């Protein structure tokens, strides 16, 4: 068991079920495993700076309690450091936690932090911003931007706004002209999206978009073969059926680094589910084994 467990709770992260505060749920989860963590409730914008301060002061483990955005913010401060990242899945979506093999149940996730093992995983980077899951330009950032506009202006619920935004995007299918330069390949064309994974994503079965490993030492670029509305719908249909690997609708390119040059001077980039406005060109690279994380299994 780590001698000191520090949990950072994102003050703005959501959690399903129960009226208890997140602090109380975290305390109860760790108490079940015989541990008493030090809990800090931090505003989202301060998470990275707070985690960096803790790591610099010699913290052994810093736990991110929230969704993928929260985990990204804390991980950003721990890349290349001896301090390990623990994860309590308390957000709406917890893709990173699932790919680590963590349980959705808080008590089980806390038990992993208390008695699990530490391993090193890769981290992706786009022009100075780290990502632990993926990054994208084109369709997804367009959908997220529309979703957030609907939520703020029309008061729609998140998933309703997301569905409507996806419908809008498929109807109008915004295309972005990009030039991708990487070893052995050069792409220069109009595309509905470019998706970049920190390691390879599997689209062969449900649930979609899972990764079997996080230490393969490569970014994986995914570029659609077709740029038509029909082609995009076909791609989505094959993905839902778990047959995307057979459909040849998606070009897969494993790389260590690449440059993506949208025509626009500035472009919205999706980074672990959050939107960031960035200046073109976008420089992508992989940082192999740069982040220590706590995963299920006995301590080595």
Measure the CA–CA gap between 67 and 15, rounded to whole angstroms.
Answer: 9
pLDDT tens by residue, 234-283: 766 666 556 666 667 788 899 999 999 988 889 999 999 889 999 999 99
CATH number of the 5-115 domain: 3.40.50.10330
Mean pLDDT of 86-105: 92
Say what the pLDDT of residue 48 is: 97
Measure the CA–CA gap between 144 and 140, rounded to whole angstroms.
Answer: 6
Q: Would you tell me how many other CB atoms lie within 10 Å of the CB of residue 215? A: 11
- Coil, strand or helix: which one is 43? coil
**pTM, two decimal places:** 0.88
The tokens describing 280, both together, are 């073109």
Q: CA neighbours within 13 Å on the CB side: how many for 203?
A: 20
For 272: left if phi > 0, alpha if psi spans -120 to 50, otherwise beta; the answer is left
Closest CA to 99 of 269, 293, 300: 293
CATH number of the 131-286 domain: 2.60.200.40
Lowest-pLDDT choice from 12-16, 29-33, 40-44, 286-290 = 12-16
Percent helix, strand, coil in the chain (nearest 5)?
30, 35, 30
Q: CA neighbours within 13 Å on the CB side: how many for 267?
A: 28
Cβ 235 vs Cβ 244: under 8 Å: yes
**What residue ranges do the domains of the chain occupy?**
5-115, 131-286
Say what the pLDDT of residue 18 is: 40
Measure the CA–CA gap between 244 and 225, rounded to whole angstroms.
Answer: 12
Q: 126 pairs with which residues across the strands?
A: 129, 284
């Amino acid at each position: 068991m780590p001698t000191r467990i520090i949990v950072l709770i994102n003050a703005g992260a959501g959690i399903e079920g129960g009226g208890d505060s997140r602090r109380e749920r975290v305390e109860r989860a760790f108490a079940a495993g015989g541990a008493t963590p030090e809990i800090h409730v931090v505003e989202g914008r301060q998470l990275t700076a707070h985690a960096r301060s803790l790591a610099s002061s010699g913290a052994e483990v810093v736990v991110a309690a929230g969704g993928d955005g929260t985990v990204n913010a804390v991980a950003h401060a721990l890349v290349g450091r001896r301090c390990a990242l623990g994860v309590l899945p308390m957000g709406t979506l917890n893709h990173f936690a699932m790919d680590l093999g963590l349980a959705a149940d808080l008590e089980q996730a806390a038990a992993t932090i208390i008695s699990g093992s530490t391993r090193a995983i890769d981290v992706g980077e786009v022009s100075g911003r780290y990502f632990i899951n993926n990054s994208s330009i084109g369709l997804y950032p367009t959908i997220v931007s529309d979703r957030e506009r609907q939520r703020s202006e029309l008061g729609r619920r998140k998933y309703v706004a997301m569905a409507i935004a996806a419908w809008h995007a498929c109807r109008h299918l915004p295309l972005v002209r990009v030039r991708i330069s990487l070893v052995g390949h050069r792409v220069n064309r109009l595309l509905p999206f470019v998706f970049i994974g920190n390691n390879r994503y599997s689209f062969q079965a449900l649930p979609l978009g899972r990764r079997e490993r996080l230490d393969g030492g490569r970014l994986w670029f995914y570029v659609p073969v077709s740029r038509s509305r029909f082609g995009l719908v076909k791609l989505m249909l094959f993905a839902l059926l778990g047959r995307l690997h057979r459909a040849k609708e998606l070009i897969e390119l494993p790389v260590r680094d690449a440059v993506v040059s949208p025509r626009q001077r500035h472009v919205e980039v999706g980074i672990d589910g959050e939107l960031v406005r960035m200046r073109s060109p976008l420089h992508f690279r992989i940082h192999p084994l740069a982040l220590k994380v706590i995963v299920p299994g006995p301590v080595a």
